[in-house]
Amino acid sequence: MKENTKKYIPYIWLDDETGHPLMMNERCTIIFSETLSTLRLSLYKIIGEGSEMLLRLIGRDMGKKYAQLVLKQYPELNEVSKHTQIYELCSIILRNTGFGKIKILELDVTKPEMRAIIKDAPSGLGIKSLPPIYNLEAGMLCGILEEIFDREMVVSGYRFNESEDNYELTITKVE
């Protein structure tokens, strides 16, 4: 990687008093991406398919928390349009925290509903024995949208595009 293509993340600090890393002033834990795929594999071996639902629930809590902190740190993001807010929060939270990259394909803020693709998700790193379903990251997007719309959101459809190596999903409100 070229030196000038790296940028520091301005809201991660190390607290000298407690010795804890802080992300947006909340204690955080920095782990390697591969650890997440190992965790996914181990959970699947222990509890089977239910592990994927568990990951989605964990992801949802993570997404909500990240969205709350980003909006607290940058309150201006409450003043921009809903489209910009959704793009910015989903993009920041996945990209800046190492959970992949998102491309929004369709967004209807009145329903609300979002169709998007996720790439480079850590859940899929080095795992060939499990289906390429990124429930942790999908859950995070649900949590972000839940925080924005203040209503329960769910993944209503998904598919893995093998040729493009990305995961497409639709998130919509719970009826």
Binders of other proteins among residues 77 to 106 (CB under 8 A) are 77, 79-81, 83-84, 87-88, 91-92, 95-96
CA nearest 168: which of 119, 129, 123?
Answer: 119
- Identify which of residues 55 and 148 has a Cβ nearer to other proteins in the complex: 148
Q: Is 4 in the site for other proteins (CB under 8 A)?
A: yes
> Are 78 and 71 contacting, i.e. CB atoms less than 8 angstroms apart?
yes
Binders of other proteins among residues 9 to 28 (CB under 8 A) are 9-10
> Cα(129)–Cα(64) distance, rounded to whole angstroms?
30
> Are 139 and 56 contacting, i.e. CB atoms less than 8 angstroms apart?
yes
**What is the DSSP code (8-state) at residue 76?**
G
Q: What minimum distance in Å lies between the beta carbon of 27 and other proteins?
A: 22
Give the x/- contact pattern for other proteins in 40-79, rule: CB under 8 A.
------------------------------x---x-xx-x
Longest dimension (CA), the chain: 49
> Cα(34)–Cα(40) distance, rounded to whole angstroms?
10
Q: Which stretch binds other proteins (CB under 8 A): 4-12, 136-144, 149-157, 167-175?
A: 4-12
Which helix (H) or strand (E) is 157 found in, with range?
strand 153-161
Residues of the shown chain interacting with other proteins in the complex, contacts defined by CB under 8 A: 4-5, 7, 9-10, 70, 74, 76-77, 79-81, 83-84, 87-88, 91-92, 95-96
